[in-house]
């Protein structure tokens, strides 16, 4: 018995130790990632100022000019437009599913949302090339009397908006579900119609949650790489319209890994781009999640 | 009191955060009797019960002072392995919590983790404790079925058998009949009166009738304090405290 | 028009809009699957899934995508295993050992959510850094390490969501039988959450097998099936990405076939996950 107890305690301690190690590793991971990328981008930071890297529009790696502005602006264009497209769809669908829809619609939509969320980025890219790019070129172009190749900010945004729909929608459904039913009952009992209840009470009450959901969607969209890269055109230029091609930051990293070693400091600027991406996305995430936590505390 | 004392609680104070949950508790619990902790919901009965096998450790922000002595050992400040102390006490909760495994293994689990893995021995013990909990006849043909296939009443008896299997000396029961139908409740009560020959039983309840039926000794709690304790017949026939009297009479009328 | 009429019209208008957005989502999903099917099915043949490409994946017209199928399975399987070895202990630790440290656990959840949000291309870049630091070349191993890092937060959070729902009473019951914390975790919690754990593994596997950006720098690409961890590996997402940009029709067909295979794998995983979620593990107690 004594031996058994010792063995048992030993096993408990070993498990405990391993669990603790894993937990500490996981907790430190964001820090390690940040530091690792910073370490790699140090060479470029020591020869170029941060302002130059972020706000210069001159990108000529051969002549040692590394301005990321065209890429950052392209990213902003693509993400913002994709949010503008997907936000109303998500909001309307979330309201529909939580307030109006019958049970079977919900049962149908659950797997639809899950599958959409599970489809790999590269498949969205293929779909974008097959459907969205020709659509922009053959339908949208003539509408505005323009000859378009279709590889453009608009195509990137359209593909991206479909990709972030399941992500935002899931959060929104949670947000609307967590609203107390008493709220609806109270509004209905003072004579409001269903839609008035939704419009004046529920949406208002859920507003911080809705903003957070959009924020999280935005940060998800900002880092999306392959699908956007496949349809956005990838031309280094500050975009001035949705029909022009763009070159988002993640695409820059993904497209140039091959040449990473051939031009001096090229690997460093790419790692710096990854660091910028990491910082922007994490800050956005942080802000949105803190907002959610604050709201939950309020309730 | 003529019977020997099993659990001796002295100056027990317990805080959760800023809330003073248990206030200056001084009680003695006699061996091989049924001691009933009586009082309204939220008066601290369950917390007191869970202090006895240190399940309060699972709560956040618990601060505790005083002593709980079981078999000459202060379990609040012992350095001994906490699992050994808990093994001394079988727990029966407000609703049954069977383990996610089959009926046989529910009983065998506690035995196996304490090193008793001999198959024949296990078989014997499983049968013995299932019989003791009056579950053998219903369960003997379906020992390999999942515990969740039993009714709630059967599950609670399974939990009792499971607790008995690890050779406890004390049974802690926290309103064990509150989720059960009247017949299952009676079965549990009847079992307690059989079990008190070999075990010290502490039963938490807010049902006066249940206390009247089974109690040998009563501890009456009100807002975190013990306001009356003593042999059941004395407390019930001649309560000294006003609140106790109201509680008893209120339930009679 | 009266106020009432306006209100009714407004509600009707928005109900129509809502109905259209909901159906639009379903339509888009169908459109995606149909377009992948239409392009992929004609290219799919026994040759396609049983052979590696001949004459180079970018130019050779002959052969199939077996290299990418096997490579993807190796990569996703390996990283899912590794991630599991880290994720299960962490999820159990959070919900069993740290059950009373509510604040700490919530902070960890917050951090995990942040990690989940980091784009896979950043994991790819970081994985590349680690690879160089360890002195590795682009290889299956480097890819597995990167994908593991990328799916760990997903797996932990998915397990955690299930374990959060286990009632405190089960923990108390197990402890009162005298079990240690690791016994409680691995023998009781693990069983109770079994179906959820399987779902979490499937989810992470799906993420791992579908992601291209994280492996772009680390696995390399090859026509051959890897025979050791130190060799470069083809994967389905990259097989699509690279071969689609080829001017040669036959090569493009390989990309479409890969896309179809990948979509089928993802659909199977999603169906399996649903089945496991529904058909609970036999002994699970429904509290």
Residue contact C287–B97, C-beta within 8 A: yes
Say whether C36 and A222 touch across the interface (CB within 8 A): no
Measured between CB atoms, does B98 come within 8 Å of chain C?
A: yes
Specify if C242 maps to a domain.
yes
Complex ipTM more than 0.90, yes or no: yes
- The Cα of C128 is separated from the nearest Cα of chain A by a number of Å equal to 10
**Cα B84 to the chain's mean position, in Å?**
17
Mean pLDDT of chain C: 91
Contacts (Cβ under 8 Å, ≥6 apart) of C32: A119, A123, A124, A127, A162
Q: What is the band of A2 on the pLDDT scale with cuts at 50, 70, 90?
A: confident
What is the Cα–Cα distance from A105 to A99, expressed in whole angstroms? 12
Average pLDDT over residues B163-182: 91
Residues in C touching A8 (Cβ below 8 Å): 180, 183
A15 and A154 both lie in a single domain: no
Residue B209 predicted with pLDDT over 80: yes
Phi, psi of C193 (to 5 degrees): -100, 15
Does residue C283 form part of some domain?
no
Structure tokens at C211: 């992601």
Q: Is C186 on the interface with A (CB under 8 A)?
A: yes
d(CA B28, CA A121): 68
Q: Is residue C161 part of a domain?
A: yes
Q: Are the beta carbons of A123 and C32 separated by less than 8 Å?
A: yes
How many angstroms separate the CA atoms of A119 and A170, rounded?
15
Same domain, C270 and C217: yes
Q: Is residue B116 part of a domain?
A: yes
Q: Mean pLDDT, chain B, as a whole number? A: 89
Closest residue by Cα to residue A80 from A169, A152, A156: A156
Is B204 part of any domain?
no
Distance (Å, whole) CA C163 – CA C189: 8
In this prediction, residue B252 carries a pLDDT of 45
Q: Rounded to an integer, what distance in angstroms lies between the CA atom of residue C140 and that of residue A256?
A: 21
Lowest-confidence pick of A215-219, B72-76, B223-227, C56-60: C56-60
Record: contact A9-B81, CB cut-off 8 A: yes
Residues A23 and A170 in one domain: no
Tell whether B238 lies on the interface with C, counting CB pairs under 8 A: no
SS3 B34: strand
Nearest-neighbour CA in chain A from B115: distance (Å): 6
Work out how many CB contacts closer than 8 A connect A with C.
246
**A272 or B251, which is more confident:** A272
Per-residue pLDDT, averaged over B32-49, amounts to 90
Closest residue on chain A to C258 (Cα): A123
**C212 and C228 fall within a common domain:** yes
How many percent of chain A have pLDDT more than 70? 97
Q: Which domain holds residue C22?
A: 3-43
Contact flag A5-B113 (C-beta cutoff 8 Å): no
Extract the tokens encoding C33. Answer: 């699957």
A155 and A277 assigned to the same domain: yes
What does the pLDDT read at residue B56?
Answer: 87
Positions of E strands within B34-119: 34-38, 62-70, 73-74, 89-92
In this structure, the answer to whether residues A37 and A95 fall within a common structural domain is no
CB atoms within 10 A of CB B136: 16
Residues of A in contact with B115 (CB under 8 A): 1, 4-5, 8
Looking at the structure, tell me whether residues C116 and C26 fall in a common domain: no
Share of chain B above pLDDT 90, in %: 54
Radius of gyration over alpha carbons of chain C, in Å? 23
How many beta carbons lie within 10 A of that of residue C232, not counting itself? 18
State mean pLDDT over A33-47.
93
Assess whether C105 and C203 both reside in one domain.
yes
Distance from CA of B114 to the nearest CA of A (A): 8
Closest CA to C156 of C84, C99, C209, C103: C84
For B197, which DSSP code? T
Buried b (16+ CB within 10 A) or exposed e, B184-211: bbebbbebbeebbeebbbbbbbbebebb
pLDDT above 90 covers a percentage of chain A that reads 58
Q: What is the pLDDT of residues A48-88, one digit of tens each?
A: 899 889 998 888 888 888 999 999 999 999 999 999 999 99
Evaluate whether residue C286 is within a structural domain: no
Same domain, A37 and A82: no
Q: Give the domain CATH number at C238.
A: 1.10.3720.10
- Smallest CA–CA distance from A11 into chain B, residue: B113
CATH of the domain at A73: 1.10.3720.10
Is residue A143 domain-shared with residue A224, that is, in the same domain?
yes
pLDDT beyond 70 at C134: yes
Per-residue confidence (pLDDT) for residue B71, from 0 to 100:
85
Cβ contact, residue pair A129, C244, below 8 Å: yes
Look at residue C254 in the predicted model and tell me its pLDDT. 92
Nearest chain B residue to C193 by CA distance is B100
Band of pLDDT at residue A6, cut at 50, 70 and 90: confident
A1 versus C67: which is more confidently predicted?
C67
**Which among C212, C263, C272 is the top mutation candidate for probing chain A, defined by the most A β-carbons within 10 Å of its own β-carbon?**
C212
The answer to whether residue A54 is domain-embedded is no
Domain count along chain A: 2
Residues A130, A229: one domain? yes
- B62-89: b (≥16 Cβ within 10 Å) or e: bebebebbbeeeebbeeeeebbebbbbb
Residue A211 buriedness (CB in 10 A; 0-12 / 13-18 / 19+):
middle
B183-196: average pLDDT: 91
Residue A85 within any structural domain of the chain: yes
- Give the phi and the psi of residue A149 in degrees, each rounded to 5: -75, -25
For residue B146, which residues of chain C lie inside 8 Å, CB to CB?
Answer: 282-284
Q: Is residue A113 part of a domain?
A: yes
pLDDT of B1 > 80? The answer is no
Q: How far is CA A169 from CA B43, B159, C218, in A?
A: 45, 43, 33
Are the Cβ atoms of A4 and B81 closer than 8 angstroms? no
On whether both C96 and C229 belong to a single domain, the answer is: yes
Same-domain check for residues C8 and C58: no
CB burial of residue A208 (10 Å; 0-12, 13-18, 19+): middle
Which residues of chain A does B111 touch, with a Cβ-Cβ cutoff of 8 Å? none
Q: Which of A159-168, A253-262, B61-70 has the lowest mean pLDDT?
A: A253-262
Using a CB-CB cut-off of 8 Å, the residues of chain C touching B98 are 285
Mutation target for A interface from B114, B115, B117, B167: give the one with most A CBs within 10 A.
B115
For A83-104, the pLDDT digits (tens) are 999 999 999 999 999 999 888 9
Tokens in use for C42? 């004609």
pLDDT for A299 equals 59
State the residue range of the domain holding B103.
Answer: 98-167
Residue of C nearest to A216 (CA): C117
Asked if C285 reaches chain B (Cβ–Cβ under 8 Å), the answer is yes
Q: Using an 8 Å CB-CB cutoff, list chain A residues near B81.
A: 5, 9
C93 touches chain A (CB under 8 A): yes
Residue B140 lies in a domain: yes
B98 contacts C176? CB cut-off 8 A: no
Strand runs (DSSP E) across chain C, as ranges? none
Q: Is residue B6 part of a domain?
A: no
Question: Do C19 and C150 reside in the same domain of the chain?
Answer: no
For residue C100, give both structure tokens: 């009373």
Look at residue A153 in the predicted model and tell me its pLDDT: 94
Q: Do B115 and A1 touch (CB under 8 A)?
A: yes
Asked whether the predicted pLDDT for residue B238 surpasses 90, the reply is no
Cβ of C279 under 8 Å from any chain B Cβ? no
Predicted pLDDT of residue C280: 63
Q: Are C201 and C69 part of one and the same domain?
A: yes
Q: Say whether A230 and C113 touch across the interface (CB within 8 A).
A: no
Q: How many angstroms separate the CA atoms of B39 and B36, rounded?
A: 10
Total domains in chain C come to: 2
The answer on A187 and A41 residing in a single domain is no
Check the CA dihedral B16-B22-B27-B29 and report its sign: negative
E strands present in chain B:
5-16, 19-30, 34-38, 62-70, 73-74, 89-92, 170-174, 200-205, 217-222, 225-231
A18 shares its domain with A161:
no
pLDDT tens across A151-193, in order? 999 999 999 999 999 999 999 999 999 888 888 888 888 888 8
Q: What is the pTM of this model?
A: 0.90
Give the SS3 label for residue B29. strand
pLDDT reported for residue C281: 65
| 8 A C-beta contact, residue B97 and residue C167 | yes
pLDDT beyond 70 at B130: yes
* C-alpha span between B190 and B212 (Å, rounded): 13
pLDDT at residue B250 tops 80: no
Are residues A105 and A29 part of one domain?
A: no
Instruction: Look at C172 and B91 and tell me if their CB atoms are within 8 Å.
Output: yes
pLDDT mean over B52-58: 87
Quick check: is B151 in a domain?
Answer: yes
Contact check, Cβ <8 Å, C90/A33: no
On whether both C174 and C242 belong to a single domain, the answer is yes
pLDDT at B253 over 60: no
pLDDT at C278 over 80: no
Residue at B161 is within a domain: yes
| Number of domains present in the structure of chain B | 1
pLDDT band at A296 (very low <50, low <70, confident <90, very high): low
- The token pair at B67 is 């002593």
Assess if residue A272 is contained within a domain. yes
Specify if A52 maps to a domain. no
Average pLDDT over residues C121-134: 92
* Backbone φ, ψ for residue C117 (5° rounding): -80, -15
Statement to judge: residues A8 and A77 lie in one domain: no
Range(s) of the domain holding residue A115 = 59-298
Q: Do A213 and A257 fall into the same domain?
A: yes
Structure tokens at C80: 């899912």
């Amino acid at each position: 018995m004594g031996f058994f107890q010792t063995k048992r305690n030993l096993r408990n301690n070993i498990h405990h130790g391993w669990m603790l190690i894993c937990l500490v590793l996981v907790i430190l991971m964001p820090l390690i990632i940040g530091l690792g990328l910073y370490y790699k981008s140090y060479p470029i930071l020591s020869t170029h100022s941060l302002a130059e890297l972020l706000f210069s529009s001159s990108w000529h790696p051969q002549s040692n000019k590394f301005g990321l502005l065209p890429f950052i602006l392209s990213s902003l264009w693509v993400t913002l437009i994709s949010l503008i497209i997907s936000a109303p769809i998500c909001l309307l669908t979330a309201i529909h599913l939580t307030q109006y829809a019958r049970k079977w619609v919900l049962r149908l939509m659950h797997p639809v949302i899950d599958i959409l969320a599970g489809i790999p980025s590269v498949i969205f890219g293929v779909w974008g090339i097959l459907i969205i790019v020709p659509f922009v070129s053959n339908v949208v172009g003539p509408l505005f009397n323009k000859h378009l190749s279709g590889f453009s900010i608009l195509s990137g945004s359209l593909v991206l908006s479909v990709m972030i729909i399941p992500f935002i929608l899931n959060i929104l459904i949670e947000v609307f579900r967590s609203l107390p039913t008493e709220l609806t009952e109270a509004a209905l009992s003072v004579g409001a119609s269903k839609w008035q209840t939704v419009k004046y009470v529920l949406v208002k009450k859920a507003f911080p949650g809705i903003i957070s959901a959009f924020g999280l969607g935005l940060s998800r969209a900002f880092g999306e790489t392959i699908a956007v890269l496949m349809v956005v055109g990838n031309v280094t230029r500050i975009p001035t319209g949705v029909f022009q091609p763009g070159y988002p930051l993640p695409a820059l990293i993904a497209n140039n890994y091959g040449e990473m070693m051939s031009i001096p400091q090229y690997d460093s600027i790419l790692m710096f781009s990854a660091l910028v991406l990491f910082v922007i996305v994490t800050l956005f995430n942080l802000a949105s999640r803190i907002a959610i936590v604050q709201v939950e505390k309020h309730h | 009191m003529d019977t020997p004392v099993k659990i001796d609680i002295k100056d027990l104070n317990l805080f959760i955060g800023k809330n003073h949950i248990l206030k200056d508790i001084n009680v003695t619990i006699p061996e091989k009797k049924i001691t009933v902790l009586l009082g309204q919901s939220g008066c601290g009965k369950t917390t007191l019960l869970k202090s006895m096998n240190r399940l309060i450790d699972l709560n956040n922000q618990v601060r505790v002072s005083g002593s709980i002595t079981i078999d000459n050992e202060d379990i609040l400040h012992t350095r001994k392995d906490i699992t050994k102390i808990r093994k001394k006490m079988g727990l029966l909760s407000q609703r049954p919590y069977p383990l996610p495994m089959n009926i046989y293994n529910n009983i065998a689990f506690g035995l196996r983790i304490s090193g008793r893995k001999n198959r024949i021995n296990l078989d014997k013990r499983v049968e013995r404790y299932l019989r003791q909990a009056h579950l053998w006849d219903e369960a003997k043909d379906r020992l390999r079925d999942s515990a969740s296939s039993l009714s709630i009443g059967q599950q609670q008896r399974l939990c009792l058998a499971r607790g008995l299997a690890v050779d406890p000396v004390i049974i802690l029961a926290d309103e064990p009949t509150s989720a059960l139908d009247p017949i299952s409740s009676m079965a549990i009560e009847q079992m307690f009166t059989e079990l008190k020959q070999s075990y010290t039983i502490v039963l938490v309840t807010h049902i006066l009738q249940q206390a009247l039926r089974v109690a040998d000794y009563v501890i009456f709690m009100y807002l975190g304090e013990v306001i009356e304790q003593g042999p059941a017949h004395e407390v019930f026939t001649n309560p000294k405290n006003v609140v106790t009297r109201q509680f008893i009479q209120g339930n009679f009328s | 028009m009266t106020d009432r009429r306006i209100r009714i019209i407004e509600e009707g208008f928005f109900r129509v809009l809502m109905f259209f957005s909901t159906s639009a989502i379903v339509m888009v999903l169908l459109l995606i699957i149909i377009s992948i099917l239409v392009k992929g099915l004609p290219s799919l043949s026994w040759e396609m899934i049983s052979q590696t490409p001949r004459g180079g994946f970018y130019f050779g017209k002959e052969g199939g995508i077996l290299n990418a199928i096997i490579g993807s399975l190796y990569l996703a399987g390996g990283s899912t295993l590794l991630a599991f070895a880290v994720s299960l202990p962490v999820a159990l630790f959070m919900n069993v050992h740290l059950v009373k440290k509510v604040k700490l656990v919530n902070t960890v959840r917050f951090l995990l959510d942040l990690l989940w949000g980091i784009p896979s291309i950043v994991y790819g870049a970081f994985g590349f850094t680690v690879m160089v630091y360890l002195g590795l070349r682009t290889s299956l191993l480097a890819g597995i390490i990167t994908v593991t890092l990328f799916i760990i937060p997903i797996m932990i959070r998915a397990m955690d969501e299930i374990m959060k729902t286990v009632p405190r009473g089960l923990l108390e019951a197990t402890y009162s039988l005298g079990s240690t914390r690791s016994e409680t975790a691995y023998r009781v919690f693990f069983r109770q959450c079994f179906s959820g754990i399987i779902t979490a593994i499937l989810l992470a596997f799906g993420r791992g097998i579908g992601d291209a950006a994280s492996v772009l720098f680390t696995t390399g690409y090859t026509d051959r099936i890897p025979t050791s961890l130190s060799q470069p590996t083809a994967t389905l997402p990259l097989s699509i990405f690279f071969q689609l940009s080829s001017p040669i029709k036959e090569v493009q067909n390989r990309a479409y076939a890969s896309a179809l295979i990948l979509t089928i794998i993802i659909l199977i995983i999603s169906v399996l996950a649903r089945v496991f979620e529904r058909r609970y593990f036999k002994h699970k107690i429904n509290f």
